[in-house]
Amino acid sequence: MARRRLPLAPTFGPADITGATMAVVMQALAQRRSVAQAAEIAADAGEWAGELTAQVQERIPPASPIACREGCAFCCHLKVLATGPEVLRLAEHLRASRTADALRPIRERVAAADDRTRGMTTDQRARAQLACPLLEGGRCGAYEARPIACRGANSLDAAACQRGFESPDEDVSLPVYKPALQVTEALRNGLAAGVARGGLDGRPLELNAALRIALQDPEAGKAWARGKPAFAAAVDAEMDEVARRARPGGPSPR
């Protein structure tokens, strides 16, 4: 299947990216609602993230080179939010790329990580210094299928990241390339909005909790694609509240 393109004018901003992403996702889900379709949408969004970030860097070069390198994993100890399609793509990737024996310890690490991080706020997660369960030898074990948030994470100073990681209670300034963060946030917002308008659950999911569900119950993805709240237990309360307050009219009844 040919990869979907994201229709954008040469000059674009976060609102344009969100709107275009939402439209493409809604169109795709109108054609077919399935786990495979959701995973394809997430894969497309990952490609868009790389392409758009490269375009933005040409227009607005970072003040200094991006310091992120393979093996530098300080940001892999933070809370990660993802949408349903991203979680399903990640689970499908792990099942397709690992044998049953190799997948078993990953499933166990994900469950253990969820047990330890369930309900933690962003600040609590940073202080806990708990590694992502997909981190293997300082490298992401599912890099090709990583969530959009991970694709946007960046730093212009690896030493500052290390100081922030080692001293989470200190106010360490972390210089980042903000346009990359804006691109990926806009993409994720558009993905979530398109999913919701397509009649599916687009609420922000905490990665450990959601991936645990997807890996332990192969039927969860099918239920989600039918419009069921299969990942309700993984909805991140902290970010869901932020999203609800950002809606016109403020918080609405649950």
**CA-based radius of gyration for the chain:** 18
| Per-residue pLDDT, 250 | 47
pLDDT band with cut points at 50, 70 and 90 for residue 241: confident
Is residue 98 within 8 A of residue 215, CB to CB? The reply is: no
| Per-residue pLDDT, 246 | 67
> pLDDT: is 248 or 100 the higher one?
100
Q: What is the pLDDT of residues 55-86, one digit of tens each?
A: 999 999 999 999 999 999 999 999 999 999 99
Number of alpha carbons in the 13 Å side-chain half-sphere of residue 146: 20
Cβ contacts of residue 13 below 8 Å, gap of 6+?
none
pLDDT average, residue stretch 170-189: 95
DSSP string, 142-194: TGGG--HHHHH---S-HHHHHHHHH-TTS-------HHHHHHHHHHHHHHHHH
Give the residue extent of every domain in the chain.
14-241
pLDDT average, residue stretch 119-127: 93
Residue 166 CB coordination number (10 Å):
11
**Averaged pLDDT score across all residues of the chain:** 93
Residue 116 CB coordination number (10 Å):
13
* Total-model pTM: 0.93
